[in-house]
Amino acid sequence: MKSVLALAIAALISLGGMASAEKQTLRIATEGAYPPFNFIDASGKLTGFDVEIAHALCKEMDADCSLVTVPWVEIITRLEQHEYDLVVASMSLTDERAKRMEFSTPYYRSHSAFAGDPQKFHDISPAALKGIKIGAGKDTMQAEYLKKVYPESTIILAKDQPSAQKLLTSGSVDLMLADSIELLAFLQSPENSRFDYVGDPLTSDLLRSTSHVTASKGNTELIQRVNEALSQIRLNGTYDRINNNYFPFSIY
């Protein structure tokens, strides 16, 4: 009888070990060049709002996180090639992107805004900015918006948002268009005190103000799990704790 009991216990331990070994690892991509949402800090660590949200979602889904940084211009294509399972990188929803990826419910909301020298610019209408050099990150919704709405301005695109900010600080562009929350830290830094938001935040169907977690097209089951996890971290206070690490107001 003791032998049978010992065998049963051993079998249970073995099954427990197998379950533990089979714990899913979610491969998650982010950009790593979009502070304060995802960036490399002074110690070389990948951090930011998106990164903490990704870890919180993995914990809620009882999965391990494996995060990688991918240049923004490659991030959708490499998702389609199944190099990773999810993208948590402040991805906004557009009709074109919806054809290529599955989108979660929104996990934060924001608006786009111009930044520059408010002493020089007040009117941000297309007519007023004719011939003006405007910067943005390549392959962003802001870049597409500028191409469509400001055809008579000179649009200069940088590889990412920090590079677009450098275009403004160096004088290579007169204004830049970016996410208003992402611009906050840039505008609050002492070295950029001469810059500020110019005009009101933009409202347009071309500039959707929600950000989402994405998965490869057809992977609706994983997105459903993400949606459930997003709901849980909102309910249990995890989301608010992460929000408060980066922003003095709720961005949900």
Say how many Å lie between the first and final Cα of the chain, rounded.
Answer: 59
Taking a C-beta distance cutoff of 8 angstroms, is the pair 215, 102 a contact? yes
- Looking at domain 112-202, its CATH architecture is 3-Layer(aba) Sandwich (3.40)
Q: Domain 24-109+209-246 falls in which CATH fold?
A: D-Maltodextrin-Binding Protein; domain 2 (3.40.190)
DSSP character for 132?
Answer: -
Q: Do domains 24-109+209-246 and 112-202 have the same CATH topology?
A: yes
Closest CA to 230 of 210, 201, 207, 208: 210
Say how far apart CA 80 and CA 187 lie, in whole Å. 35
Q: Which of 72, 37, 33, 46 shows the shortest CA–CA distance to 184?
A: 37
pLDDT tens digit at each of 252 positions of the chain: 545 444 444 554 544 544 445 789 999 999 999 999 999 999 999 999 999 999 999 999 999 999 999 999 999 999 999 999 999 999 999 899 999 999 999 999 989 999 999 999 999 999 999 999 999 999 999 999 999 999 999 999 999 989 999 999 999 999 999 999 989 989 999 999 999 999 998 988 888 789 999 999 999 999 999 999 999 999 999 999 999 999 988 999
On whether the CB atoms of residues 63 and 26 are closer than 8 A, the answer is: yes
- The CA distance from 196 to 215, in Å, is 35
Domain boundaries, the chain: 24-109+209-246, 112-202
- pTM, two decimal places: 0.77
